[in-house]
Structure 1
């Protein structure tokens, strides 16, 4: 029995995706989250989730940060991005960071049903127009390198990295994760080595590279759906 998590802050879109999922796999069980924190908590408590449909821009998730978090902490789970931000350069970054597919929010319900069924069968899915666009959109070596470095972190190291980026000190991170401070120090050293950085500032800047810009202005401000 497949298990699907829909992580999106728009109730009507969650309802539409749930309807499409049940039509694609009538025996599937659907869970919902309206922010990244809730989505990660559900993944932590339910190891049998097969597929996550993840909104690029919802509370707690901006750009590719949520995708990177799920891929690092729950590598066994397939993640597909659902977004209205479907510029081919964005889609290429999504795929380079390990997504199983990209479902534009403009996609009709028949296609969404097909997409969910395909991804539950472990296939990568894109709509036809983005398939064609991907042929002319090369991977960015810097993005591929960043994805590989982040993927080298253990789930707990990725959690520590996020807390470093929030500005927390080792003792505060230890309290947050309920571990010893020396454990955090060991994680920080391993994170610096794996990411090829020398300090907390450089490590935090790497996470900022996961940000996206406004649709139609990819060199501008952070994007919103």
Structure 2
């Protein structure tokens, strides 16, 4: 496993790297103090399995980095780190379907809890952040509601990502390449979704996922 940590505060980055290594012993951690250096590494080497980035990075911030990943169709899960509580910035980051949001003001124990959630395939958003977001009238509430329904069914973030790509017509091998995971892992995620949704076929699984709101149907089906 390969993990990127992008942060312009070396002490915090080193501390986070130590915590991350506790969850994955075979994890190779690459640390970058410049966002552009991390992007250059993405171009030259195999994709990481996980990326942590400080949302307030200079020159190219976390939101700009997410746009780069989106443009290049890189599906590596991203966890945002933040040393401020700007709710508008949080909203924008969550719109990219990030894998988690960890305030740098979190205690050591809180960060460990967040990492435990993330490495188990769940999305981590602090309750305080969810409460603040819920108070904003113009907030797109679909994501928070979606995460609640997913957690209620026991569906992980990675399972949902696999199902979304399957619904778009991608074969298992293609999904594996896009998500930087093995084809066996793709099959395992789909098998779990079949069981959770009581589906007997790929098409039935996708249809039930639409009906339960786990994934959004394509635009042409919503007209």
2:138 and 2:27 map into 1 onto residues whose CA distance is 34
Aligned residue for 1:110? 109
Aligned to 2:118: 119
Higher strand proportion: 1
TM value normalised by structure 1: 0.56
Separation of aligned partners in 2, 1:38 and 1:88: 28
Query: Larger relative CO (CA 8 A, sep 6+): 1 or 2?
Result: 1
Q: Alignment partner of 1:26: what SS?
A: coil
Partner of 1:19: 18
User: Which portions of structure 1, spanning 4 or more consecutive aligned residues, are displaced by more than 3 angstroms?
Assistant: 137-141
Whole-angstrom CA distance in 1 between matches of 2:91 and 2:111: 20
- Aligned equivalent of 1:201: none
Cα distance, 1:3 vs structure 2: 1.9
Q: Which residue of 2 aligns with 1:196?
A: none
8 A Cα contact 1:101 1:126, kept in partner: yes
Secondary structure of 2:3's partner?
strand
CA RMSD between the two structures: 2.3
Other-structure match for 2:31: 32
2:63 maps to 64
- In 1: Cα distance, 2:24 partner to 2:49 partner: 12
5+ residue gaps in structure 2?
144-223
CA distance in 1, matches of 2:27, 2:124: 19
Under a length normalisation based on structure 2, what TM-score does the superposition of the two structures give?
Answer: 0.56
Distance change >3 Å, CA 76–CA 111, structure 1 → 2: same
Compared with structure 1, are the counterparts of its residues 76 and 63 closer, same or farther at alpha carbon in structure 2 (3 Å cutoff)? closer
Aligned length, in residue pairs: 141
Unaligned runs of 5+ in 1: 145-225
